[in-house]
Amino acid sequence: MSYDFDLFVIGAGSGGIATARRAAEYGAKVGIAEFSSLGGTCVNRGCIPKKLMVYASHFPDMFEEAQGYGWSPVASTLNWQTMIGAVHKELERLNGVYQRMLDNSKVELLRGYAKFLDPHTLEIVDSADSSTPARKVTADKILIAVGGHPVMPDIPGIEHASTSDDMFLLPEQPKRLVILGGGYIGVEFACIMKGLGSEVTQIIRKEKILRGFDEDIQTLVQEAMQQHGIRILDSSYPTAIEKTSEGLKVTLAGKYQETVMADVLLAALGRQPNLQNLGLENAGVEIDKKAITVDEYSRTSQPNIFAVGDCTDRINLTPVAINEGRAFADTEFGGKSRIMSYENVPSAVFSTPEAATVGLTEAEAREKYGDALKIYRARFKPLYHTLTGRDERTMVKLVVDQTTDRVLGAHMVGPYAAEIIQGMAIALKMGAKKADFDATVGIHPSTAEEFVTLR
């Protein structure tokens, strides 16, 4: 049977675009549908704009810390509109880059929403012009790469809350920000907005933030956030949100039975796949727990339909979606069968201080290896802060299997943690042993050298 495309991709986020371009490199005729800006969540509503705001939030501390090195005091104020405008200008530039990448790869972009009519047929409805007739396209293989969206809790008055998507669109900086949720999104925005000068209150159901991360990371980041003036109300949850003339009134239950006031209330309570209106039932694609079910080759229950990225709810990170997509393209179009490995995938939290991790947490390793573990840990004031006067702490940690001497996990809290753990990830991926770390000469003076001097 003849099809319009060898591969059609639904969703032009990082994973979808990477897959489309890789398949096109192998000679496939590829189409891709997107109703919004190119680059998906990461480029437009996540990684990139958030990291730019992280940088912006660090300047007030840098101005003050510079005095310890002999610089005169700096009087500076933030122009919110200028910062947000500069961020959006960069996002526009990146969208242009993605468009050129698709054009250069000869991938046809169809603007609109895609919906399955059957396993090989899609209907594309123009998102910009509802009067334009829907276009039907057929494809031998179809890849779903639609990402996810923020989850809103069922709380009276939740319609007054904002999501992480909205934080980059605020017309002015909120003086009072209340955040629901202790995951990495909530933690990052708490640190960003506090650094920019907002009063920040974070409400979490558990005793500690960053559930699923190593306990030392949880503890040290939470202590630092509180030391920096972020109020964390643990073991508490909202029961009602009310819009008043003085702002949003959030009523709490649990450990802190009180009300807190906010100019903006950020609901950062997780994300779930964007599966609404895809017509998956028309294609026989199965879902489980609101995510698309896939095998190790990213194949769905329909043999010609595949899915990668957050819509499969495996490891929801941009580089993972890209790797999954390229593995699919290599296998299906490049004659290079391979699968994505989910072991030793590094990740970071761009909080203040920054945290990063790769491999098993101490708790995970103890559950798997029992008493065979040995933990190597150092907590210290970095050299930079010996002159700033700040009581900031950095932590480095290795989790080691004593039986084999293999390093099972590496964790860090402190400046440039993500940059340092990226290098540690290569070592763990290669099966490095503690003896390999010990035999490596450190770079002095640096924080990274602590990983090779732990005893």
Which residues are tagged catalytic?
A: 444
CB within 8 A of 245, min separation 6: which ones? none
Among 270, 267, 269, 262, residue whose Cα is nearest residue 201: 262
For 428, list phi and psi in degrees, rounded to 5. Answer: -65, -35
Neighbours of 169 (CB within 10 A): 10
| DSSP structure string for 111-161 | ESEEEEEETTEEEEE-SS-TTSPPEEEEEEEEEE---EEE-----TTGGG-
Nearest-angstrom CA–CA distance, 31 and 78: 43
Go through 427-448 and write b for each residue having 16 or more CB atoms within 10 A of its CB, e for each that does not: bbeeebebeebeeeeeeeeebb
Q: Hey, what amino acid is at 89?
A: K
Q: Which DSSP letter does residue 424 get?
A: H
State in Å, rounded, how far the first CA of the chain is from the last one. Answer: 65
